[in-house]
Amino acid sequence: MKRTLRISLLFFVLPSLLMGQDRRNASSPFGVVASSSPIASDIGAAIMEQGGNAVDAAVATAFAMAVTYPTAGNIGGGGFMLVHPSDGSPPVFIDYREKAPLASTPLMFAEGGSRKNHRYAGVPGTVRGLSLAHELYGNLPWKNVVEPAVRLAKDGFVMHAGLARSISRTVQRSKNAEFKRVYGKAGGGQWQGGDKMVLSDLGATLQRIADHGTAGFYKGETAKLLAAEMKRGGGFITEEDLSRYRARVRVPIHFTYRGFDVYSAPPPSSGGITLAQMLQILENFDLKALGRWSPQAHHLIIEAMRRGYANRAKFLGDSDFVTIPDRLTTKSFAKELAASIDPKKATASDTLGPPITEEEESRETTHFSVIDKTGMGVSNTYTLEAGYGSGVVVKGAGFLLNNEMGDFNPKPGVTNRKGTIGSSANLIKPEKRMLSSMTPTIVGKNGKPYLITGSPGGRTIINTVLCVTINVLDFGMDLRSAIDAPRTDHEWFPERVRFAGARDPAHADLVKALTALGHKVSSGRLGDANSILCTGDTYHGAADSRSGGVAAAKK
């Protein structure tokens, strides 16, 4: 009882007491959580205070974010978790990506249209995935790691100003009556920072999950409510879809870079394979000698991205349905790609093959990183796809549904140069997982986690992870600097370079030099890399300044 009270007080008092403080950084030898939700980060740290390990903290953080970060935190979506055990056993990847419903057809979205509706919802995987992670590695009882989120939803939480503005804007624009009822302010008007939000129906759903595990979501009352919502809105998910869904344990993509072990996301994520190609291309060059902001280093980074994303589009999809060439992650293949780079001019993207259509991935995802006192590390990225997903709240259950079906290729064989990139490997099929760019990554050193990172950002995710990784490993930046540094993004098509520092006078000469090499440079905001760096016996957590998140340490 005392434990419950202590965490409960933390939920409601600590965030308001610390409002206005800079809590982006935290260091501790006992454990750290870095996420985009201050309350969720505090809950994860509190779970470790109660004797939980990194997976317990990750599960609690994820459920808490379903309450406090509704743009992307979820139980109605899906994602990926990478676990680096502390006992010397190999890292494990848990795939809880959403699936296409059984009633799906290859051309069901060929006509396009708004994705903010029931039809675009894939079968949710989050609850199964978090449960599987806990089953494999959790230390505390399941109920203990879900209950904090239950109390947040039932008793309410204090919103910061950014969340209040976001919810108010979305309520105004929403066409979903249940969304307006659940997230609208009683009596009308705008939410303000410091207001308390109570989500009773979501609390009841989370209580069923706490009491009954996955059966509290995929069967019984919650499943019936979800299936009924689908019927009302013309969606495709049925109780059978829910009962058949399973999370998968997969072997992570593993390669070495500059003597470090890198573990990242396998298919149905495109992240790990694309990251492996890009880093191993760059391993053929001395980036450190060139300098982080030199035109030569930037040119090589851009060309590595161009080649990695071209192969992403050509070959990658759900490996349960398509065969992916083994050579894509080999150093020999990367060496061939590196040799094709002209040091004096940009490669024309169409020389690497014609563009192939795929819908643009939404950037409204979220990533968090966790490590505990034993050195167990967790890198977790999960999403509803677009901000607030489909915009559909399940009536009576209180949770948002994803709109992930838009990540499939909707028009086989249609090509263009506007950045809609994909392949036949990512066509819609019943129970298939849609291709993703989520890239939860752990860099290992001497068998232990060294850098834990990942990001939201749609197809920009992989490039954000690349930039943070080379900032640390090649250029020796501290974690705060590595995350705050302006990032670069090139995705093969469209034929452009987005550089977050493009409008900074300090980088004017760099932009001019890249333009002279034939690159089309524009500005843009990229990613949100809540990360952890391990130095000696201390863990340094850094929440990305772009998200307003928090790094919380176990004391």
171-198 pLDDT per residue, tens: 999 999 999 999 999 988 999 999 999 9
Confidence grade of residue 423 (pLDDT, cut at 50, 70, 90): low
319 compared with 368, residue with greater pLDDT: 368
pLDDT confidence band for 7 (50 / 70 / 90): very low
pLDDT over 70 (residue 360): no
Q: How far is CA 487 from CA 92, 105, 301, 308, 484, in A?
A: 29, 38, 11, 17, 9
With 60 as the cut, is the pLDDT of residue 15 above it?
no
| Chain segment 212-250, per-residue pLDDT in tens | 999 999 999 999 999 999 999 999 999 999 999 999 999
CB 137 within 8 A of CB 55: yes
pLDDT band, residue 123 (cuts 50/70/90):
very high
499 to 20, 298, 312, 504: CA distances (angstroms): 30, 10, 21, 10
- For residue 462, pLDDT over 70 is answered with yes
Determine the Cα–Cα distance for residues 239 and 225; give it in Å rounded to an integer. 9
Q: Please tell me the least confidently modeled range out of 37-41, 259-263, 320-324, 375-379.
A: 320-324
Over residues 263-277, the pLDDT tens digits come to: 999 999 999 999 999
Mean confidence (pLDDT) of the chain:
92
More confident residue, 31 or 323: 31
* Predicted local distance difference test score (pLDDT) of residue 11: 43
Banded model confidence at residue 83, pLDDT cuts 50, 70, 90: very high
Reply yes or no on whether the pLDDT at 509 is more than 90: yes
Q: How far apart are CA 79 and CA 390, in angstroms?
A: 16
Active site annotation includes 365: yes
Q: Which of 126, 205, 365, 383 is catalytic?
A: 365
Share of residues in the chain with pLDDT > 70 (%): 92
What percent of the chain is modeled with pLDDT above 90? 82
Look at residue 201 and tell me whether its pLDDT is greater than 50.
Answer: yes
pTM for the whole thing?
0.94
Per-residue CA distances from 232 to 222, 225, 229, 402, 454 (Å): 15, 11, 5, 16, 37
Region for 187 from its dihedrals, namely left if φ exceeds 0, alpha if ψ lies in -120 to 50, beta otherwise: left
pLDDT at position 164 over 80: yes
Q: How many CA atoms lie within 13 A of 316 on its CB side?
A: 29
Residue 16: per-residue pLDDT: 37
Question: What confidence score (pLDDT) does residue 317 get?
Answer: 84
pLDDT at site 64: 98
For position 525, what pLDDT does the model report? 82
Mean pLDDT lowest among 291-295, 310-314, 368-372, 393-397: 310-314
pLDDT at residue 316 in the model = 84
Of 491, 461, 466, the closest CA to residue 349 belongs to 491
pLDDT at 155: 98
Segment 525-535 shows an average pLDDT of 92
CA dihedral 467, 312, 390, 232 (to 10 degrees): -160
**CA angle centred on 492, ends 491 and 495, rounded to 5°:** 100
**pLDDT at residue 9 greater than cutoff 50:** no
Across 315-327, average pLDDT? 89
Residue 19 has pLDDT above 60, yes or no: no
489-504 pLDDT, tens digit per residue, is 999 988 899 999 999 9
CA distance 454 to 58: 14
pLDDT tops 80 at residue 59: yes
Q: How confident is the model over 412-436, as a mean pLDDT?
A: 71
Mean pLDDT, range 415-443, rounded to an integer:
78
Query: Which of 83-97, 317-331, 349-363 is modeled with the greatest confidence?
Result: 83-97
Helix, strand, coil percent values for the chain (each to nearest 5)? 40, 15, 45
Whether 404 contacts 122, CB under 8 Å: yes
Which run of H or of E encompasses 314? helix 295-315
